[in-house]
């Protein structure tokens, strides 16, 4: 079987993440991780279950170690260091968008869960940085009359929910949180991405620095299209949360087709009429 080319250059991604820790503003730039962490903590409270064997997949364990009591910290990699059937909770924290095989990642998490164990994955969604993507694309097309990959593709929420089912998880739910962040300048936005370890690590990226004319044009377009009345630049961030359970006989099961004991028309209190011929 022919394997598709990789989306992500994992070595470049590792370099960017390691460099981010040394950059000024790294702690502030990790605000999305902290936002996701706080949201998942609330979700775990609502589940009203005590998890005794949690695992967290993350490239930034210093942030995520406080999610729950004594979690096993698992490095974000294509092959996850998870033992089969060991954990009652697995959290995939802000790395799934860089995976070359998202379904495979979730399937590995599924195998690591005990029956009726919980998986929560959080990642940037499709609306994240749509302003930056559009401005960079238009600027490059104007200046170089070409287009190169610059921002990692991010899944839409309906597609990501289907990925959970493909990974063998029961009762899948996908929902999102959207916020608008404001920056003083275009350069500040780019610096924030570097400090968060989220700069271009696509395998098909150009292997040279982006030209100054392209960046200047993108900054101008951004200011024209996405500036607030005060002159600050708006950036959209979307966090998608995926929740699913390892199958267990105690969970709700869908009814078999044709097993209903009451007609829909009776339940709705309306007359039932046959469809016209040819419908």
pLDDT band with cut points at 50, 70 and 90 for residue 267 = low
What is the side-by-side strand order in the sheet with 113-124? 72-75, 54-58, 87-93, 113-124, 233-245, 170-183
3-state secondary structure (DSSP) of residue 17? helix
d(CA 76, CA 182): 29
Residue among 202, 96, 215 nearest 152 (CA):
202
User: Which residues lie across from 245 on neighbouring strands?
Assistant: 118, 170
pLDDT digits (tens, 9 = 90+) for 33-92: 999 999 999 999 999 899 999 999 999 999 999 999 899 999 999 999 999 999 999 999
Cα torsion through 143, 145, 151, 157, rounded to 10:
120
pLDDT of 240 higher than 70: yes
Burial (0-12, 13-18, 19+ Cβ within 10 Å), 249: exposed
Residue 156: the pLDDT is: 82
pLDDT band with cut points at 50, 70 and 90 for residue 149 = confident
Buried b (16+ CB within 10 A) or exposed e, 69-100: eebbbbebeeebebeeeebbbbbbbbbbbbbb
Higher pLDDT, 133 or 268: 133
3-state secondary structure (DSSP) of residue 239? strand
Higher pLDDT, 241 or 206: 241
pTM of this structure: 0.86
pLDDT band with cut points at 50, 70 and 90 for residue 278 = low
The token pair that represents 155 in the structure block? 């899944």
Q: 18-22, 98-102, 148-152, 275-279: which range is least confident on average?
A: 275-279
The residues spanned by each domain of the chain are: 10-247
Residue among 223, 155, 235, 228 nearest 191 (CA):
235
3-state secondary structure (DSSP) of residue 132? helix
For 10-247, the fitting CATH number among 3.40.50.150, 3.30.70.1290, 2.30.30.30, 3.20.20.70 is 3.40.50.150
pLDDT band with cut points at 50, 70 and 90 for residue 11 = very high
pLDDT digits (tens, 9 = 90+) for 171-220: 999 999 999 999 999 999 999 999 999 999 999 888 888 889 999 999 99
């Amino acid at each position: 079987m022919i394997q598709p080319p990789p989306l992500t250059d994992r070595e470049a991604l590792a370099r960017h993440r390691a460099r981010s820790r040394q950059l000024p503003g790294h702690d502030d730039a990790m605000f999305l991780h902290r936002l996701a962490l706080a949201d998942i903590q609330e979700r775990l409270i609502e589940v009203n279950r005590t998890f005794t064997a949690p695992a967290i997949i993350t490239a930034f364990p210093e942030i995520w170690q406080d999610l729950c009591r004594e979690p096993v910290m698992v490095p974000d990699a294509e092959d996850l260091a998870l033992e089969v059937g060991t954990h009652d909770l697995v959290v995939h924290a802000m790395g799934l968008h860089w995976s070359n095989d998202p379904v495979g990642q979730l399937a590995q998490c599924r195998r690591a869960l005990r029956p009726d164990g919980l998986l929560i994955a959080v990642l940037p969604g499709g609306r994240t940085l749509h302003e930056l993507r559009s401005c960079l694309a238009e600027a490059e097309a104007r200046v170089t009359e070409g287009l190169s990959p610059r921002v990692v593709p991010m899944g839409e929420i309906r597609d990501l929910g289907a990925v959970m089912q493909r990974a063998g998880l029961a009762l899948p739910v996908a929902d999102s949180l959207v916020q608008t962040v404001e920056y003083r300048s275009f350069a500040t936005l780019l610096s924030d991405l570097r400090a968060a370890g989220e700069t271009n690590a696509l395998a098909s990226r150009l292997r040279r620095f982006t030209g100054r004319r392209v960046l200047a044009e993108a900054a101008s377009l951004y200011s024209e299209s996405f500036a607030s009345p005060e002159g600050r630049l708006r950036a959209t961030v979307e966090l998608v949360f995926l929740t699913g359970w390892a199958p267990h006989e105690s969970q709700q099961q869908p009814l078999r087709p044709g097993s209903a004991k009451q007609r829909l028309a009776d339940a709705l209190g309306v007359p039932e009429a046959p469809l016209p011929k040819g419908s």
